[in-house]
Amino acid sequence: MHMQRHLAHQRKSYEQGQLDEADATAQPLALFLRWLADAEKSKNVTESNAMTLATVGSDGRPSTRVVLIKDADERGLVWYTNYDSRKAQELAVHPQAALQFHWVELERVVRIEGLVEKVSAEESDAYFAVRPLDSRIGAWASPQSQVIANRGVLLANAARYASRFGLNPPRPQNWGGYRLIPDYWEFWQGRKSRLHDRIRYRLSDGHWISERLAP
């Protein structure tokens, strides 16, 4: 009960910014890239590229995890992972997902929803080639989402693949990128008295419609 009382009385006044209709660009991507740049430039925000990815399994059970955005353009938002992982298995059944960025220090949240597809093998190859060597070896060493006996399994795998490939490990065929193609964006800016700003973009007949939502 003591912990419940403590949580119930936590309060914060959101006063760092505002989001008016005049700030809402015609294309949601432009606003997102501006907010992402603000987060990257802020000295207070750590891992501005971290986003929560939500997927749904064949049983209808949702799951979330944090991944890192690696590209964003008019085609969509891209991250990379193991194609045998739980999220990949869920996307194979339900190729729709939701993303969320929460830049706590800026009192901002961005939510994105849409269809998901794999990026091309060429795109995955190009990104894999610029990853640090230990990350490239790690892609081979980790049977992501599978049960393993202990951490020693990962270390042994890493040593074996490092010996096998040296400085030039190729991209594993079960590792690559996904692209979420947005049909829904929501931008949230914290405001005083819990009267937060929420601007939604929804895709209708190929055009983006922006609307203010009540907080």
pTM score, whole prediction = 0.91
Q: Is 194 a catalytic residue?
A: yes
Q: Residue 119 burial (CB < 10 Å; 0-12/13-18/19+)?
A: buried
Q: Say if residue 81 carries a ligand binding annotation.
A: yes
Q: Say if residue 65 carries a ligand binding annotation.
A: yes
Q: Say if residue 86 carries a ligand binding annotation.
A: yes
Q: Where are the domains of the chain?
A: 21-129+173-212
Residue 3: its pLDDT value, please?
60
Whether 12 shows a pLDDT value over 80: the answer reads no
C-alpha to C-alpha distance for 72 and 94, rounded to whole angstroms = 22
**110-140 pLDDT, tens per residue?**
999 999 999 999 999 999 999 999 999 999 9
* Identified catalytic residue from 5, 61, 151, 194: 194
Q: Where are the beta strands (DSSP E) in the chain?
A: 50-56, 62-68, 71-73, 76-82, 96-103, 108-118, 175-189, 197-204, 207-212
Residue with tokens 């891992």: 47
CATH number for the domain formed by residue range(s) 21-129+173-212:
2.30.110.10
Residue 4: its pLDDT value, please?
65
Whether 18 shows a pLDDT value over 90: the answer reads no
Residue 7: its pLDDT value, please?
56
Whether 102 shows a pLDDT value over 60: the answer reads yes
Residues 29 and 72: beta-carbon distance below 8 Å: yes
Q: Which two tokens stand for residue 205?
A: 């007949």
Q: How confident is the model at residue 178 (pLDDT cuts 50, 70, 90)?
A: very high
